Structure 1
Amino acid sequence: MTFSWTEDLPQDLKEKVVKVDKKIAGRLNEIDEQVLYNQQRVLELFRKHRVGEEDLVPSTGYGYDDMGRDKIEAIYADYFKTGDALVRPQFSSATQAISVGLFSMLRPGDTLYYLTGMPYDTIQEVIGLAGDKPGNMKEWGINFKHTDLLENGEVDYEQAEKDLQDKSIKVVTIQRSLGYAVRASFTMEKIKKMLKFIKEVRPDVKIFVDNCYGEFSETEEPTFYGADMLAGSLFKNAGAGIVKGGAFLAGKKELIEGAGSRLNVPGAGKGEGATWGYLRDIYQGFFMAPHTTGEAIKGMIFTAALCEEMGMKVAPKWDDPRTDIVQTVTFGEPDPMVKFCAAIQHYSPMNSFVDPIPYHQDGYEDDVVMASGSFTEGSTIELSSDGPLRAPYRLYIQGGLSYAHDKIAITHAVEETFYKNK
């Protein structure tokens, strides 16, 4: 007996799915090879550091002498080819990790500079460009500058060279993923060029990379080529849908020590910080991260190909290089965007009965529609979608613990948006 998950789909949509499967097969094989490479690196690090059952025993209280915590941080540092790492459940989000990293390197009168244009909404709140919450950089006398990207979404190197002559600039930031911008995410090939440019123009500055959504999406990371520090989330790529919270920083040893003092207190620094019941998940999540990230990328390749078959504008295209787990689909108007987002919610394992309603969320300027039927709140390595209700009405789809789930959910989202009620 043969079974088909497409049995109840409209015939036209069935044919499109078959066409997409054939078209993307070679690209999916490439991702499988990338997963094998990254998985081998992670496995070798677990063997090198002799991970054992005793490393999974959590600490409490101050967290002194937490051997498992120290070992996983050594593994992260090895993977990212840095001097040290801070891998902690105490970070409530990657935004907090970014804030800790930047604040630890900046002082009153210094200037933070973004090479990759204006940062996304929640970081604007940290800087003091949006919102009115206390404790932002502006309140602490830290200045901000950025160079707008060119119309094609690329770095304006000519203008950036002029802007970097400002000697108050002490930290230069690269944002790898696109946030809610309309540009493409920056591949490692482009980030390598940025790093080289910064070091030639201002070798004295610290380079920070917002690496969210990027870990294991390629076979290289920004710290391989001279980034001084990067940040990511434990409940995105690096946690593989297993870790329930936390984030990480990886970078030069003295900078991570400074970040530890900012997260905790000077003196204790990164020597404090209990891991409670998190260690097993953090270890297992990092081990599973190459595979799970690969599944998410394959799901987004399918999403791009099928939505393109439906005549929608997508970025990146199915055969473009991938550097994160984010796929954008532009709808041009709000109704189909909200309907597509709702369908993703309806085909999620959690809260499938919920209809997403656009609303104002702290940290964002526009109403936002979100679908996230995930086991961990905000775990965008699990299939989710969101976007601000503003032109060009672009939905940001990300994640997927399994390619199979992505394929099923996205196909039915297309069905509910374009085939039903016609």
Structure 2
Amino acid sequence: MGGNHTVTAFFHFSERVEALAEAAEKRCRGAFDRIEEIQAYNQQKILHAFQEQRIGGSHLTDTTGYGYDDRGRDALDQVFATAVGAEDALFRAGFASGTHAITVALFGVLRPGDVMLSVSGRPYDTLEEVIGLRGEGNGSLKDFGVEYRQLELREDGRFDLPAIAAACRGVKLCYIQRSRGYSLRPSFTVEEIAEVCRTAKEANPDCIVMVDNCYGEFSQKVEPVQVGADIMMGSLIKNAGGGIAQSGGYIAGRHDLVELCAYRLTSPGTGRELGCSLGQNRALYMGLFHAPTVTGEAMKVSCFANALFEELGYQVYPAVDDTRADIISAICLQDKERLCAFCRGIQAGAPVDSFVTPEPCPMPGYEDEVIMAAGAFTMGSSIELSADAPIREPFAVWFQGGLNYATGKIGILKAAEEVLKVNGQTA
């Protein structure tokens, strides 16, 4: 876990920061033990899935052109489906992002006149134009005649189950965003998602329950499709790609729904049969194999970050001893200067572009300026050490990633130093 190992062999911090780090690690010990137990379970689960699907060296080769009969690509779909307890899956480099995978799933299962109901409040910023909450005439669900409805969470940030039961009658899709996004509400555990699935299905047995599972994969021992969700989606440059996948996303769940999504990913009639792997099979297999361990390391870094910044007096989410449902931490830094300082520290602790200074700027898909710190081997990879935030109230930073605890910890300590400098305190 890191214990009391010195952090000053190659990086030098003030006595105050080192003392805070030691206190934070002591507070994390119980949480680290729980994370490591989940980490080991999920890593064995992945090994079993590889063996169950009889993966051999020939699966690691690649195809070009149409990609017909790409046995490595097709077997990888089944490895992931086996690992997460789904009937079927698409685990493909052809998805441009997690938002793309979610978009393919939404357009795959919804038709003109259908109703989509979000039961977790407003979705993540990049989905607003997909749904039609912002923008006009750009091919959104709204443009295609899909109605969008939304239920707010309770004041404590949890699901309003009675309201869900009433609202699910007559809707085609019940949509859940597992992670907190750019909000301070809790991320949802699979146990909470299971309650929504039961509630929705009791009210409307034909309702499709869809889960945006980004940042949540392998953070617990089971996944949403194992507790009643019909379909889930995510990114391969987050948890599921293990820090090795260079691009991609996944959709997993019921076979009939995954088939519909395959027709949106490529074209009706060809579906999953198209899509060459272009040299990516080996990286995707390796990324998936390492994913549970890398996810566990990222969760430990996130836990340490919250413990340290709580020691510094900042409000953090989740609390150190809370059950974690994803890799994300939210830290309320109170103003723009501290927010930007935190991101400078994270960037300075990265293995790539550590000399770069992140600055707020406009970003495609976002309404506000966004600051992003990510010195990553893969551009935008948020399973690697990274932090980002829109420049708006409450000036919280959303931190995630860390391929391993030993180096992720350094990034957090550098972030603490930068924030202390803004406070006018000696670091």
TM-score, scaled to structure 1: 0.97
Alignment match of 2:182 (pick from 180, 183, 190): 180
Residue in 2 that maps onto 1:4: 6
CA distance in 2, matches of 1:3, 1:258: 51
| Contact 1:131–1:363 under 8 Å retained in 2 | no
**Is 1:244 matched with 2:246?**
yes
Residue in 2 that maps onto 1:340: 342
Residue in 2 that maps onto 1:76: 80
Q: How far did 1:419 drift? A: 4.5
Alignment match of 1:391 (pick from 387, 390, 393): 393
Residue in 1 that maps onto 2:369: 367
CA distance in 1, matches of 2:49, 2:344: 41
Alignment match of 2:42 (pick from 28, 34, 38): 38
CA distance in 2, matches of 1:347, 1:133: 42
CA distance in 2, matches of 1:392, 1:43: 42
Residue in 2 that maps onto 1:100: 104
Percent identity, aligned pairs only, is 42
List alignment gaps of at least 5 residues for structure 1: none
Alignment match of 2:17 (pick from 2, 13, 17): 13
Alignment match of 1:110 (pick from 104, 108, 114): 114
- Read off the aligned partner of 1:108 and give its amino acid letter: P
| Contact 1:337–1:393 under 8 Å retained in 2 | yes
CA distance in 1, matches of 2:18, 2:60: 47
CA distance in 2, matches of 1:152, 1:359: 32
Comparing 104-113 and 4-13, the one that deviates more: 4-13
CA distance in 1, matches of 2:26, 2:339: 27
CA distance in 2, matches of 1:164, 1:232: 24
| Contact 2:81–2:89 under 8 Å retained in 1 | yes
1:93-172 pair list within 5 angstroms? 93-132=97-136, 134-165=138-169, 167=170, 169-172=171-174
- Read off the aligned partner of 1:319 and give its amino acid letter: D
CA distance in 2, matches of 1:131, 1:258: 26
- Read off the aligned partner of 2:237 and give its amino acid letter: F
Question: What is the DSSP-based 3-state SS (H/G/I as helix, E as strand, rest coil) of the residue aligned with 1:244?
Answer: coil
Residue in 1 that maps onto 2:360: 358
| Contact 1:149–1:156 under 8 Å retained in 2 | yes
- Read off the aligned partner of 1:209 and give its amino acid letter: V
Question: What is the DSSP-based 3-state SS (H/G/I as helix, E as strand, rest coil) of the residue aligned with 1:386?
Answer: strand
Task: Tell me the alpha carbon deviations over residues 42-99 of structure 1, each in whole angstroms, 9 at most, x when there is no partner.
Answer: 1111111111110001111111111111111111111122221111111101111111
Task: Tell me the alpha carbon deviations over residues 229-265 of structure 1, each in whole angstroms, 9 at most, x when there is no partner.
Answer: 1001111101111000010100111111111111111
Alignment match of 2:407 (pick from 391, 405, 408): 405
Residue in 1 that maps onto 2:237: 235
Task: Tell me the alpha carbon deviations over residues 105-131 of structure 1, each in whole angstroms, 9 at most, x when there is no partner.
Answer: 111111111111111111111001013
| Contact 2:130–2:141 under 8 Å retained in 1 | yes
Question: What is the DSSP-based 3-state SS (H/G/I as helix, E as strand, rest coil) of the residue aligned with 1:148?
Answer: coil
| Contact 1:382–1:400 under 8 Å retained in 2 | yes
Question: What is the DSSP-based 3-state SS (H/G/I as helix, E as strand, rest coil) of the residue aligned with 2:172?
Answer: strand
Question: What is the DSSP-based 3-state SS (H/G/I as helix, E as strand, rest coil) of the residue aligned with 1:283?
Answer: helix
CA distance in 1, matches of 2:40, 2:336: 40
CA distance in 1, matches of 2:278, 2:118: 36
- Read off the aligned partner of 2:185 and give its amino acid letter: R
**Is 1:349 matched with 2:351?**
yes
Q: How far did 1:133 drift? A: 5.9
- Read off the aligned partner of 1:402 and give its amino acid letter: N
Task: Tell me the alpha carbon deviations over residues 292-332 of structure 1, each in whole angstroms, 9 at most, x when there is no partner.
Answer: 00000000110010000000000001111111110010012
| Contact 2:164–2:200 under 8 Å retained in 1 | no
CA distance in 2, matches of 1:210, 1:184: 15
**Is 1:377 matched with 2:352?**
no
| Contact 1:114–1:145 under 8 Å retained in 2 | yes
CA distance in 2, matches of 1:339, 1:132: 36
CA distance in 1, matches of 2:319, 2:141: 37
Q: How far did 1:406 drift? A: 1.3
Residue in 2 that maps onto 1:297: 299
| Contact 2:31–2:321 under 8 Å retained in 1 | yes
CA distance in 2, matches of 1:265, 1:413: 46
| Contact 2:358–2:373 under 8 Å retained in 1 | yes
Residue in 2 that maps onto 1:257: 259
Alignment match of 1:312 (pick from 311, 314, 330): 314
| Contact 1:209–1:227 under 8 Å retained in 2 | yes
Question: What is the DSSP-based 3-state SS (H/G/I as helix, E as strand, rest coil) of the residue aligned with 2:155?
Answer: coil
Question: What is the DSSP-based 3-state SS (H/G/I as helix, E as strand, rest coil) of the residue aligned with 2:117?
Answer: strand
CA distance in 2, matches of 1:366, 1:410: 25
Q: What number of residue pairs does the alignment pair up? A: 419
CA distance in 1, matches of 2:59, 2:102: 27
Q: How far did 1:193 drift? A: 1.0
Residue in 1 that maps onto 2:205: 203
Aligned-residue Cα RMSD (Å) equals 1.4
Question: What is the DSSP-based 3-state SS (H/G/I as helix, E as strand, rest coil) of the residue aligned with 1:191?
Answer: helix
Q: How far did 1:23 drift? A: 2.1
CA distance in 1, matches of 2:135, 2:338: 30
| Contact 1:120–1:181 under 8 Å retained in 2 | no
Task: Tell me the alpha carbon deviations over residues 188-225 of structure 1, each in whole angstroms, 9 at most, x when there is no partner.
Answer: 12111111111111111111110000110110100001
CA distance in 2, matches of 1:64, 1:111: 35
- Read off the aligned partner of 1:37 and give its amino acid letter: Y
CA distance in 2, matches of 1:214, 1:405: 22
Q: Which runs of 4+ in 1 moved over 3 A?
A: 419-422
- Read off the aligned partner of 1:95 and give its amino acid letter: T
- Read off the aligned partner of 2:406 and give its amino acid letter: A
| Aligned CA distance change for structure 1 residues 132 and 345 (closer, same or farther; 3 Å) | farther
Question: What is the DSSP-based 3-state SS (H/G/I as helix, E as strand, rest coil) of the residue aligned with 1:55?
Answer: helix
